[in-house]
A and B are shown apart, each in its own frame.
Chain A
Amino acid sequence: MRCLVVFCGLVVAVFNQKLFVGDQVLRVTASSEEQITLLKELQDLEHLKLDFWREPVKTALAVDVHVPFAGLQAVKAFLESNGIQYRVMIDDVQMLLDEEKEEMFRSRDRDRNTNNFDYASYHTLDEIYSWMDSLEAEYPDLVTKIQIGSSFEGRPINVLKFSTGGSNRPAIWLDTGIHAREWITPATGIWSAKKIASDYGRDPSLTAILNTMDIFFEIVTNPDGYYFTHTSNRMWRKTRSINPGSSCVGVDPNRNWGAGFGGPGTSTNPCSETYLGSFEHSESEVKSIVDFILGHGNFKAMITIHSYSQMLMYPYGYTSTETPNQQELHTLAKSAVDALATLHGTKYSYGSMITTIYPASGTTADWGYLNGIKYSFTFELRDTGRYGFLLPAEQIIPTAQETWLALMKIMEHARDNPY
């Protein structure tokens, strides 16, 4: 412990200079009063530039002395010729300082990683998971990482909980990365999660949201698929579950929800990109969320984020019947896309899923709505087909910034319209 304190002092004083190469620290054990006297004399020899970490006081206490390289031979000879026992405690002070400095930088990287993190590039699953730990460590009073289940291939399914307290507060659900190839979505998710954490206490509106509601954010909703897009097939969409009797892998997680399951816009062919699965919630990636949200019982908004097409949609996708809240959702969608456009002029279309993009059954937002979550929305982020799924990394931050404005509109509305 004392060593550590001294080391920190040394590092501060020395800062990047290699002044201690070959220096050693000796632990000297005096066995008589005469030897103690001799050691005190050694202390007085200024030209040796000895640094006694522990002073010679009495025989019971060991004496630690930092000896510069130049004086090592002389000091050891002195100790040996006087029969004073010693051992080399630190073999090379500089080496230890270098290790210590490295460790400090490494731990600084771990502790403050979310400030150094490169939000303007796409990251691997491991990098994202490690970033989650950093975020949790950096904002311990606000952020908790919760594992809500495991993927088909056994990867943890992690959700970031943002909460300032209370008990089972009304909650907002956000998810990105449910379709593996839609890389812009987890990239936007990371930026947005950091935004939530750093804006609490600074932005009045976001602070007001978190003072009464919790936010649950699942960044990589399909970790197996995401991993697969990095290692094997950039254009993979579905989960990676094995379909018995078929050589084709994976289920479309956005057709697997129990909301008009098996209806229009789905396929029963395991080889299809919109294969709905053998039964609703067959995918653990979907079931985990279903169980979590139903178990919680107090979600008020559910926002699921995809790419591409630049759309903001409300239920339904499985039927053309309008929801009872059609007017309110439509008005809210309009205010959200108008807010989004103010930043970079990006145009979004909006409406129900079935009219705006295509009929699709068993989708996330329809399930949310049918389970009492009134403010259920589906985003399709940039762009409209120029780059499509391969959106350049330089568009990550502009996309995240503009999307944030739309997300805030929805979250504010949920905050201000409790039900």
Chain B
Amino acid sequence: QPTWVDPAFPMKELNTSHYPATRAAKVAEHYLNYHHGSPSKWFMVHAIERATSEDIPEVGTKYHIQFSVQEQATKKIVENCIAEILFRQTEGQSTPEVNCTCDDLLKIKTSDADHALYHHIKHQPHLVTGTDIPDSQGNIPKEMEPLWYLGGIGASFIMWQQSNESTLYNMAHIHNVKQLNSENDLLAFDYVVLLHEMVSQVKKKKNHSSICPSII
């Protein structure tokens, strides 16, 4: 059981319903997805149990979040995740620094499903493509789901990079995805996604290519 961190600076208890906690938790979500997500494993924050923040003079604000996540494919809930998120005081945007412990999360094994997908795609006669995921009605063809997850995982990297205390990002839509030619064993995809930023309500079109981890 991870212990609650003992802060060096005055700590403020946060309301878990209020946006400072939810925005910080969302950053942890993006971090987890980038590091541990796969086409069969995508996490969303389920509940925030406790949240505190400390203002570190001339550095920034550090958040401590105790939360649970839910894996979207299996619906499995992973409790006892603890994250430290540091938003630095910088001129422009800087990627939040995240430390996250979520032991039970690593116990969710999807390597079989991931391998199966890898082989399925590798042995397709043509390069895989997809468009408009989900469609206007929220539909996603079954065979597109792994590409949707993969798009979400890749987008998590960008969303993590773009986040600060005044943002809350989600991937709104995959405009299109194209598998790229690759000489080696890696599978690579080019995505055009739409990100939704909640505070400004802005939709941002982003291209992420070759950022998607290869499926091994």
With CB as the reference atom, state the residue of chain B lying closest to A236.
B203
Beyond A273-B201, A384-B45, whether A350 also contacts B136 by CB under 8 A is no
With CB as the reference atom, state the residue of chain A lying closest to B16.
A349
Q: Which residues of B contact A237 (CB under 8 A)?
A: 201
Q: Which residues of A contact B173 (CB under 8 A)?
A: 234-235, 390
CA distance A237 to B26 in the complex (A): 23
User: Scoring A residues 329 to 355 as 1 if CB is less than 8 Å from chain B, else 0, what string do you get?
Assistant: 000000000000000000101110001
Which of A122, A349, A392 has the most C-beta atoms of chain B within 10 angstroms of its own C-beta? A349
A225 to chain B, nearest CB (A): 13
Q: Is the CB of A393 within 8 A of B19?
A: no
Any chain B CB within 8 A of the CB of A121? yes
Q: Which residues of B contact A121 (CB under 8 A)?
A: 137
Q: Which residues of B contact A321 (CB under 8 A)?
A: none
Q: Is the CB of B72 within 8 A of A390?
A: no
With CB as the reference atom, state the residue of chain B lying closest to A229.
B136
User: Scoring B residues 1 to 39 as 1 if CB is less than 8 Å from chain A, else 0, what string do you get?
Assistant: 000000000000001111100100010000000000000
Which residues of A come within 8 Å of B, CB atoms?
121-122, 183, 229-230, 234-235, 237, 252, 272-274, 309, 347, 349-351, 355-358, 384-393, 395
Stretch at the interface among B58-66, B89-97, B106-114, B191-199: B191-199
CA distance A358 to B198 in the complex (A): 9
B45 to chain A, nearest CB (A): 7
A sample of 29 inter-chain contacts (CB < 8 A) reads A121-B137, A183-B136, A229-B136, A230-B136, A234-B136, A237-B201, A273-B200, A273-B201, A274-B200, A274-B201, A309-B198, A347-B46, A349-B17, A349-B22, A351-B18, A356-B18, A358-B198, A384-B45, A385-B196, A386-B44, A386-B72, A387-B138, A388-B196, A390-B135, A390-B137, A390-B138, A390-B172, A392-B137, A393-B137
Q: Is the CB of B134 within 8 A of A390?
A: yes
CA distance A385 to B19 in the complex (A): 15
Which of A183, A229, A390, A393 has the most C-beta atoms of chain B within 10 angstroms of its own C-beta? A390
B182 to chain A, nearest CB (A): 29
CA distance A367 to B42 in the complex (A): 40
Q: Is the CB of A389 within 8 A of B22?
A: no
Q: Is the CB of A235 within 8 A of B202?
A: no
Q: Which residues of A contact B198 (CB under 8 A)?
A: 309, 357-358
Q: Which residues of A contact B140 (CB under 8 A)?
A: 392
Partner among A273, A349, A387 whose Cβ is within 8 Å of the Cβ of B134: A387
User: Scoring B residues 169 to 207 as 1 if CB is less than 8 Å from chain A, else 0, what string do you get?
Assistant: 011110000000000000000000010101111110000
